[in-house]
Amino acid sequence: MTIMKANCNTAFSPMRDPIDRHPLHIGIVLLVGGQSKRMGCNKQLLPWRGKTVLDAVCGALQGGWGGQVASTVSCRLPFVAVTGDDHEKLEPIVTNYGFEALRNDHPELGQGVSIAMGVRHLMNTSSIPLDGILCSVGDQPLLTSAVVHEVIRAFNENFHPKTIVVPHYGANYHSGNPVLFGSHWFDYLQQIQGDQGGKTIIHGDGKAHVVKLWISDDIGDDIDTPDDFERLKHRESEAL
């Protein structure tokens, strides 16, 4: 079991919504449509702990999200996974964890298209208004449900529609995923271009509203190259 310690640092003190919004309603957009050009194969389908990297990520997201809105959603979870070229292989994995799979037919246009698709779909189909959307990636095999839970907890404790929670991992304090955006940013997320993803908001208009969450364990790495995967395989037994 990974031991995690976290605290929040924020550049502002958000005021509470005058309407009692608790429990806050959080959706998840999982990005699994990357073309894995540097990897040479679909990194989400690489073997990990007897299943796949994507299984590990989906399990962490599902477990960390827990019962955030389970008591008010009777039909389906507000989870969407945006796939790409390997939709037929990815869909059965993500649906097993409660995600609805959407196919991005143009993954070559960059991550921004997938984010926009996922956010738009949640906004149009969620049975309740969402207070925030957690954006995650499918190639972060060391992600734990504890990290996801802490990101959501930090959002609850610092709630404002403009709040953005960004985890920072390890002694080097490097920023990573998943990132939770308050509802103010939903329209912005649908306008992102290219491969920058949410960074355009985090380092732009949203900078003053970022809550920095420190995760003491260095478990935020994702997989970009074969060397990355070989390095992470040495840590495969962690958090078991």
Task: Report which residue type is found at 40.
Answer: G
Q: Which of 54, 36, 131 is nearest to 99 (CA)?
A: 54
Q: Which of 201, 57, 61, 184 is nearest to 123 (CA)?
A: 184
Task: Dump strand ranges (E) for the chain.
Answer: 8-10, 26-31, 47-48, 51-52, 79-83, 100-103, 132-137, 164-169, 174-175, 179-182, 210-215
Q: What is the pLDDT of residue 22?
A: 64
Q: What is the pLDDT of residue 73?
A: 39
Q: What is the pLDDT of residue 39?
A: 63
Put simply, whether the predicted model's pTM sits higher than 0.75 gets the answer: yes
What CA–CA distance (Å, rounded) separates 108 from 165? 28
Residue 220 has φ and ψ, to the nearest 5°, of -95, 5
Cα dist from 156 to 14, 22, 35, 153, whole Å: 11, 8, 34, 5
Residue 47's H or E segment, with its range, is: strand 47-48
SS3 66: coil
User: CB–CB of 197/82 below 8 Å?
Assistant: no
Q: What is the pLDDT of residue 90?
A: 96
Q: What is the pLDDT of residue 236?
A: 82
* pLDDT tens, residue by residue, 209-219: 999 999 999 99
Provide the residue-wise pLDDT of the chain in tens; the chain has 240 residues.
343 444 444 433 333 343 444 679 999 999 998 655 656 678 999 999 999 999 999 999 999 998 444 433 345 789 999 998 889 999 999 999 999 999 999 888 888 899 999 999 999 999 889 999 999 999 999 999 999 999 999 999 999 999 999 999 999 999 999 999 999 999 999 998 877 788 999 999 999 999 999 999 999 999 888 888 899 988 888 755
What CA–CA distance (Å, rounded) separates 237 from 240? 6
